[in-house]
Each structure stands twice: as structure tokens, then as C-alpha cells.
Amino acid sequence: MKNAPYLAALLPFLCFAAAGSPAMAHSMTLDAGLRASIYDDNYNLGTGGELGLLVPASPAWDFGLHLNASHYASKLPETIGSTNEYGGYVTAYYKPSIDQFFSMRMGPHLGYAKIENDFIDVGGDIMAVLKTTEALDIYVAFIPSFMIGKAGQTLVRIGIGLEYNLGK
């Protein structure tokens, strides 16, 4: 089906719109972070960024929407050029109750990515979140992905970022 990549690109945004409600808007969290990504043997470590929005669904679950972009410099510039990744995904985060100075979020994600080809991005997210102030948190993230499509790949993102809690 020729329109499948475009439908996959729309899916994260439709799922997120269905999950959030205006009543939850006061407790949303914005996040922004830096990412390092391992994509393909032909490219150096990719660098980029991510913007996200988290909405609580219950005390133990959050829904998230993340948009990301990365640049990959070629290891072989004489034969292949550099490339960029653009994409987005939705995720459902389970927040286990742990007795530590940080909190955890973990869950699956589904989305779309464009890296030379169109891919459906399926994977997981694991985040450790350190509360610094009432409104600001610091997080580290590990995000493995399976890129499903023509010339499918695996991709691993590691990141660090800040979260700003709108409801605080």
C-alpha cells in the first residue's frame, strides 16, 4: 500500500489526540532533550534533539508524544552523503513505584521516521527522571527502535533532557 508511510506518520498524532483531554491540560509536561543515535555502520554517531509532551492518564500511566530530528555524518563521504532523520512517535509510559531519589517511566512506542526511506518506528522507551524543583525535572532516556520498511534497520537513541511541568 503506497500510502502506508503517510498513514503511519499520522497515527502518533491521532492516538495522542484521542488520549488527551482538556481536563488534563493543567498537568501536562513539556520536555526537550539532546540525543545521540546509532543508526547504520556507514554513518558516525548521530546527534540531534527531541521535543515532547506528556499527559497523565492515571497515577501509574502517562501518554507521550515525541518529535525528533538527528543528523548522521557519513563515514564514507566519497561514496555516500550524510543523512538526516525526522520523525515522531507516541508512547504509553508505565511509572513503577520505586523507593529511590528518581522515578522511572517505561513503555512501548509507535511512530514514523524518515531516514533516506520511510519507516514505521516500533520500540521501547526507558526514562529515569530526577526531580530538581517543583516544576523542572532532568531525565536520561534509552530508546531502542526497530525501523520497519524498505531496508529496515535498528536504531538506538540515548538522551538527556529537561521536563517542565505545566501544572506546578
In this predicted model, what pLDDT tens digit does every residue of 89-116 receive, in sequence order? 999 999 998 888 899 999 999 999 999 8
Give the C-alpha separation, 105 to 94, whole Å.
Answer: 6
In this predicted model, what pLDDT tens digit does every residue of 124-168 receive, in sequence order? 999 999 989 989 999 999 999 999 999 888 999 999 999 999 875
pLDDT band at 39 (very low <50, low <70, confident <90, very high): confident
pTM for this model (two decimals): 0.79
The whole-number average pLDDT for the span 35-55 is 92
Q: Which fold has domain 4-165?
A: Porin (2.40.160)
Q: Where are the domains of the chain?
A: 4-165
**Residue (of 32, 17, 40) closest to 113 by Cα position:** 40
Q: How many CB atoms lie within 10 A of CB 93?
A: 21
Give the C-alpha separation, 57 to 143, whole Å.
Answer: 21
